[in-house]
A = this chain, B = another copy of it.
Amino acid sequence: MPRVAYVNGRYESLADAAVNVEDRGYQFADGIYEVCLLVDGRFWDEDGHFDRMERSLSELSMSMPMSRPALKAVIAALLRKNRLKNALVYVQVTRGVAARNHAFPPDGTVPSIVITAKPYNLAANEALASRGVGVLTMSDQRWARVDIKTVSLLPNCLAKQAAREAGAFEAWLVRDGKVTEGASSNAWIVNGKGELITHPLGHEILGGITRQTAIRCAEEMQMKVVERAFTVAEAQRAHEAFITAATLLVMPVVSIDGRPVGSGKPGPVAQRLREAYLRRCSEIAGERPRAIA
């Protein structure tokens, strides 16, 4: 079955789904995005993703292209058309199509909205988590406002590619000697006292929705979470490490720059947190109506 995408009011086959070459997303990376997970037809961390989407738009002086209920209805329709219940949904909103000019286009320029959906394989994610992943550290070359979830992702792509070429799964980005986050995930370590350490919110990291929920899960389990930056050396001495992202959930990190973290296997804290995260998301989602039946 060909995949279907939503583009500016129309459902089209993904192969035909297109935007104008003067879309500001294409010429200027002038737009934002979200990636949300739906399991069994229900949004995980629904409010978090929609809240962040509104914030990202607001930081770029843009507004939501449609109401939240309308957006949810479109996503539900898109999942039905794609016959998906476990899905990663990608939503991108840009400042619209306008004659090329760095300054914003005239008031009234209509934002562009694109939504795609693809199957999400929880079993494959479980398998990856049972092995854990390796990360490669490198210089954080991104701009000063990575707290906004924009499509200005070239540095993230270059970092991810460098990691993959070195045989690592993810890049850990280092600014002023401290790990900020991964190329597409938040970075965590667990020290000898069992404390979970992750970079504080601010302009230097993207405030992950999975990160936020994972903090709640940890605190509910009486684990201590310390939001502070850590060095690569500290990470390499850590008992455990892991990353969080909507697509990865809680994913154990078993090596940093080719050196094993702790035992070199997924650690017990990361595993407990992963289970708690899965439980919490499915419970909260279960209390709400399905996005699609």
- The A contact surface, by secondary structure, is mixed
| B141 with A144: CB separation less than 8 A | yes
Distance, CA A170 to CA B99, complexed state (A): 18
Partner of A161, one of B104, B139, B156: B104
Contacts of A27 in B (CB 8 A): 33, 92, 151, 153
| A92 with B26: CB separation less than 8 A | yes
A165 to chain B, nearest CB (A): 9
Distance, CA A182 to CA B116, complexed state (A): 36
Q: Which residue of B lies closest to A32 (CB)?
A: B154
Query: Any chain B CB within 8 A of the CB of A180?
Result: no
Chain A window 9-39, contacts with chain B (Cβ cutoff 8 Å), 1 for yes, 0 for no = 0000011011111111111111001000000
Listed residue (A17, A29, A116, A144) with the most chain B CB atoms within 10 angstroms of its CB: A29
Are A151 and B26 CB-contacts (below 8 A) given A161-B103, A161-B104? yes
Size range of the chain A interface in the assembly: 35 or more
Chain A window 95-106, contacts with chain B (Cβ cutoff 8 Å), 1 for yes, 0 for no = 000011011100
Query: Any chain B CB within 8 A of the CB of A90?
Result: yes
A53-108 interface (Cβ within 8 A of B): 60-61, 90, 92, 99-100, 102-104
| A19 with B22: CB separation less than 8 A | no
Query: Any chain B CB within 8 A of the CB of A5?
Result: yes
A143 to chain B, nearest CB (A): 5
Contacts of A164 in B (CB 8 A): 103
Distance, CA A156 to CA B116, complexed state (A): 28
Distance, CA A150 to CA B90, complexed state (A): 23
Partner of A22, one of B102, B116, B158, B160: B116
Task: List the 8 closest A-B pairs by CB distance, nearest first.
Answer: A18-B18, A29-B29, A141-B144, A102-B160, A28-B153, A152-B154, A17-B21, A29-B154
